């Protein structure tokens, strides 16, 4: 255990330490006495014993659960080939006994040993590189030897080893990985019987329920921690299917891929990530719910890959401003920004600007729910799609397609669009300088030939448009779900929205070929 890293940290710790010391002195000093009317000293009445802070149904111990499940949890070590180029590590010498390769303890004592030997850092950096090691956790789901862990633990590994709780070390084969959910399945062959962890229902878990995490933090081996379910449905921006459980059970580096149990000893989550400004546990850990993980893992185990349903649309969230612009009572659903003409949605009659509110009978309250329910739907099945179109409720039927594996393309999102060199007629509206598209403006802003609308040539400082991320070079394709060809078209549609009592007008913008809706306030006519 290390001490404070700065003088200010040390000083800030003193008041708390002093307060604790005073409380201890008070608790263990001589008995206090009160004076009665006659001056005789009598003992003060004893304080009643403190009631237990645990709820009545809380377990007095987690030992039974830990004893039964520790044998189902494994510790994973991987080796990756050394990089051919780039910085090279120093001479490592023989492995240090007692510390797993790649663990913080091994690194700390290796650096200490090297300093004692007086090896210069420059000399160390000139030596040949060595393979890198990583550590993680996992758990057995089948006595046949199938093991679950996180994709990020094993996806780049050249060699994978699995160590059982009794110390038995086995080589593991990678069966399949799924990057979008960060899950992987391994296979080991064991001569001894294996203990499998049973699955539980994460949907039955309530916020505040007890949970237990078992894993391999910092390469230390089997560690058991307990806490509660702090929250559900956390989106931590790791992928399109984010729906994490949050827990305050201590999760640290090396816990990745380990199980999160309910009190029945059933796996209801797979520990995956932590939020930490320090790199250690601060009581905010995230686990993939079993309701999402289990079907993915079953596909990986049986087929080595995951097949997902596909709708063929791009969607965005419905904000209160967007809902008001569309005449919706509540901001809910997934707003369709583009439709693939040959995709299931396009063939089924879904249009740009529709708001999908239910999919196959399941309510879509937030945009991020739609990709998950579509992905989990059987490929080839015909499902009803309820939506809001131009203020009216409609239902269409779509046949779910299959999402083809493809690499995600990063959005450029550049804010440094070039200023046009061509002189054009412009109009000021809603804090924007607008112009009809010309060949010169298309070249200046690199606008695709198939994009039609009104181009933004300048955005007013501190304007509502600037606050909403509109940039020079954006093309306004629609306003109020009507096509825009000229600045005068936009002015007319803004006036129409204002006459209908709308506070905002919904504009569809194109940037670098991508479409998104932006609600623009229209209370005043400045700019």
Residue-wise pLDDT for 355-394, tens only, equals: 999 999 999 998 889 998 999 899 999 999 999 998 899 9
CA dist 338 to 84, 312, 355, 516, Å?
A: 43, 9, 12, 8
Flag whether the pTM goes above 0.85: no
Q: Of 56-60, 88-92, 472-476, which range is least confident?
A: 88-92
430 token code pair: 């809603």
Report the domain count for the chain: 4
Query: If 0-12 CB within 10 Å is exposed, 13-18 middle and 19+ buried, where does residue 283 land?
Result: middle
Q: What pLDDT score was predicted for residue 287?
A: 95
Residue 353 within a domain: yes
Percent of the chain past pLDDT 70, that is, above it, reads: 74
The alpha carbon torsion through 472, 475, 476, 478 (nearest 10 deg) reads -160
Instruction: Tell which wins on pLDDT, 32 or 113.
Output: 113
Give the pLDDT score at 325.
84
Q: Which helix (H) or strand (E) holds 112?
A: helix 104-117
165 is catalytic: no
pLDDT exceeds cutoff 70 at 457: yes
Looking at the fold, whether 262 and 363 belong to one and the same domain comes out as no
For all residues of the chain together, what is the average pLDDT? 78
Q: Is 387 exposed, middle or buried, given 0-12, 13-18 or 19+ CB atoms closer than 10 A?
A: buried
In sequence order, which residues have a C-beta less than 8 Å from that of residue 340 and are 6 or more positions away? 312, 313, 346
- Range with the poorest average pLDDT among 39-53, 183-197, 227-241: 39-53
152 is in an annotated binding site: yes
With bands split at pLDDT 50, 70 and 90, how would you rate the model's confidence at 411?
very low
Tell me whether residue 214 is in a domain.
Answer: yes
Question: Does residue 317 sit in the same domain as residue 299?
Answer: no
Identify which of 97, 171, 89 has the alpha carbon closest to the alpha carbon of residue 124. 89
Catalytic residue, from 137, 151, 152, 291: name it.
Answer: 152
Average pLDDT over residues 238-258: 88
Are residues 238 and 287 part of one domain? yes
- What tens digit of pLDDT does each residue of 214-231 get? 999 888 888 999 999 999
- Residue 194: CB partners within 8 Å, gap ≥ 6? 140, 143, 144, 145
Any domain includes 239: yes
CATH classification at residue 278: 2.40.10.10
pLDDT tens digits, one per residue of 103-150: 454 555 556 556 555 555 555 455 556 666 778 999 999 999 999 999
pLDDT in tens, 260-312: 999 999 999 999 988 877 777 788 999 999 999 999 999 999 999 999 999 99
Assess whether 157 and 208 both reside in one domain.
no
**288 shares a domain with 218:** yes
- Is 12 annotated in a binding site? The answer is no
Selection from 224, 230, 192 nearest residue 210 by Cα? 230
- Is the pLDDT higher at 485 or at 82? 485
254 plus 345 within the same structural domain: no
> Which residue range forms the structural domain that includes residue 166?
63-82+100-187
First to last CA, the chain: 61
List beta partners, residue 75: 137, 163
pLDDT at position 445, please? 82
Distances in Å between the Cα of 361 and the Cα atoms of 153, 314, 373 are 37, 20, 11
Mark whether 283 and 329 lie in a shared domain: no
Structure confidence at residue 55 (pLDDT): 62
Once rounded to an integer, what is the mean pLDDT over residues 443-460? 85
pLDDT of 171 over the 60 cut: yes
157 plus 104 within the same structural domain: yes
Q: What is the CA radius of gyration of the chain?
A: 30
- Is 83's pLDDT higher than 80? no
Q: Which residue, 457, 423, 418, is CA-closest to 440? A: 423
The verdict on 295 and 206 lying in the same domain is yes
Residue 12 domain flag = no
CA torsion sign, 274 to 277 to 281 to 283? negative
- In this structure, of 95-99, 144-148, 494-498, the range with the lowest mean pLDDT score is 95-99
DSSP one-letter code for 199: B
Lowest mean pLDDT among 51-60, 247-256, 479-488: 51-60
Task: Identify whether 26 is part of a domain.
Answer: no
| Same domain (yes/no): 365, 323 | yes
Task: Report yes or no on 502 lying in a domain.
Answer: yes
Same domain for 511 and 476 = yes
Higher-pLDDT residue of 42 and 423 is 42
| Bigger pLDDT: 119 vs 482 | 482
More confident residue, 236 or 209: 209
Highest mean pLDDT among 21-25, 259-263, 490-494: 259-263
pLDDT at 115: 57
Distance CA 499, CA 177 (A): 55
Residue where a domain stops, chosen among 270, 288, 303: 303
**What's residue 128's pLDDT?**
56
Residue after which a domain boundary falls, among 187, 216, 250: 187
Q: Is 256 a catalytic residue?
A: yes
Range with the poorest average pLDDT among 72-81, 88-97, 135-144: 88-97
Across 57-72, average pLDDT: 87
When pLDDT is cut at 50, 70 and 90, the band that residue 503 belongs to is confident
- Domain presence at residue 42: no
Q: Are 163 and 149 in contact (CB under 8 A)?
A: no
pLDDT bucket at 37, cuts 50 / 70 / 90 = very low
Q: Looking at 103, 256, 291, 325, which residue is catalytic?
A: 256
Which pLDDT band, with edges at 50, 70 and 90, does 459 fall under?
confident
Quote the pLDDT of residue 69. 94
Residue of 182, 243, 354, 474 marked active site: 182
| Higher per-residue confidence, 446 vs 161 | 161
Confidence category of residue 435, pLDDT binned at 50, 70, 90:
confident
Residue 185 has pLDDT above 90, yes or no: yes
> Are 399 and 380 spatial neighbours (Cβ–Cβ below 8 Å)?
yes
**Collapsing DSSP states into helix, strand and coil, what is residue 444?**
helix
Q: Are 164 and 171 in contact (CB under 8 A)?
A: no
Better-predicted residue by pLDDT, 67 or 47: 67
Nearest to 455 by CA among 419, 482, 480: 419
User: Does some domain include residue 54?
Assistant: no
Q: From CA 438, how far away is CA 451, in angstroms rounded? A: 12
Structural contact between residues 374 and 499, judged by C-beta atoms closer than 8 angstroms: no
Q: Which of 18-27, 210-219, 269-278, 481-490 has the lowest mean pLDDT?
A: 18-27
153 shares a domain with 105: yes
Is residue 12 predicted with pLDDT exceeding 80? no
C-alpha closest to that of 451 among 506, 511, 520: 511
Q: Outline where 367-510 has alpha helix (H).
A: 369-375, 439-445, 464-467, 487-499
- Last residue within a domain, chosen from 402, 437, 468: 402
Q: What is the CATH number of the domain that holds 322?
A: 2.30.42.10
Say whether 303 counts as a known binding-site residue: no
**256 annotated among ligand-binding-site residues:** yes
Both structure tokens of 171: 């080589």
């Amino acid at each position: 255990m290390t001490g404070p890293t700065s003088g200010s940290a040390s000083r800030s710790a003193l008041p708390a330490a002093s307060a604790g010391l005073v409380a201890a002195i008070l608790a263990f000093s001589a008995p206090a006495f009160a004076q009665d009317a006659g001056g005789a000293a009598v003992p003060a009445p004893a304080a009643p014993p403190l009631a237990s802070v645990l709820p009545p149904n809380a377990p007095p111990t987690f030992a039974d659960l830990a004893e039964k499940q520790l044998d189902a949890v494994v510790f994973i070590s991987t080796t990756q080939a050394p990089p051919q180029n780039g910085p090279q590590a120093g001479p490592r010498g023989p492995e240090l006994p007692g510390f797993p390769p790649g663990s913080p303890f091994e690194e700390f004592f290796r650096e200490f040993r090297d300093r004692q030997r007086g090896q210069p850092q420059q000399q160390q950096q000139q030596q040949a590189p060595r393979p890198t090691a990583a550590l993680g956790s996992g758990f057995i789901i089948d006595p046949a030897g199938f093991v679950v862990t996180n994709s990020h633990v094993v996806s780049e590994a050249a060699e994978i080893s699995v160590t059982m709780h009794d110390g038995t070390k086995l080589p593991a084969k990678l069966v399949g990985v799924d990057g979008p959910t960060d899950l992987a399945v391994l296979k080991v062959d064991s001569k001894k019987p294996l203990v499998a962890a049973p699955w539980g229902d994460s949907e039955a878990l309530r916020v505040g329920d007890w949970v237990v995490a078992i894993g391999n933090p910092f390469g230390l081996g089997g560690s058991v921690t307990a806490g509660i379910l702090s929250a559900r449905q956390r989106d931590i921006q790791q992928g399109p299917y984010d729906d994490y459980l949050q827990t305050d059970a201590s999760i640290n580096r090396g816990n990745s891929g380990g199980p999160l149990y309910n009190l029945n000893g059933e796996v209801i989550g797979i520990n995956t990530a932590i939020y930490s400004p320090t790199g250690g546990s601060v009581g905010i850990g995230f686990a993939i719910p079993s309701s999402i993980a289990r079907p993915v893992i079953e596909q990986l185990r049986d087929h080595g890959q995951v097949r997902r349903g596909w709708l063929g649309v791009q969607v965005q969230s419905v904000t209160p401003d967007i809902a008001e612009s569309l005449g919706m009572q509540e901001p809910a659903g997934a707003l369709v920004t583009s439709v693939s003409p040959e995709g299931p949605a396009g063939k089924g009659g879904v249009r740009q600007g529709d708001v999908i509110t239910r999919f196959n009978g399941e309510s879509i309250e937030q945009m991020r729910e739609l990709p998950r329910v579509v992905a989990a739907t059987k490929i080839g099945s015909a499902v009803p799609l309820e939506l809001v179109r131009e203020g009216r409720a409609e239902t269409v039927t779509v046949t779910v397609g299959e999402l083809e594996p493809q690499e995600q393309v990063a959005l450029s999102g550049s804010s440094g669009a070039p200023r046009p060199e061509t002189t054009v007629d412009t109009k000021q509206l809603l804090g924007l300088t607008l112009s009809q598209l010309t060949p010169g403006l298309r070249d200046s802003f690199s606008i695709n030939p198939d994009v039609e609308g009104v181009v933004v040539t300048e955005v007013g400082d501190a304007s509502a448009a600037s606050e909403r991320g509109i940039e020079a070079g954006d093309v306004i394709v629609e306003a109020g779900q009507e096509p825009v060809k000229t600045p005068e078209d936009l002015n007319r549609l803004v006036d129409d929205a204002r006459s209908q009592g709308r506070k905002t007008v919904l504009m569809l913008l194109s940037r670098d070929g991508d479409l998104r809706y932006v609600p623009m306030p229209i209370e005043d006519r400045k700019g």
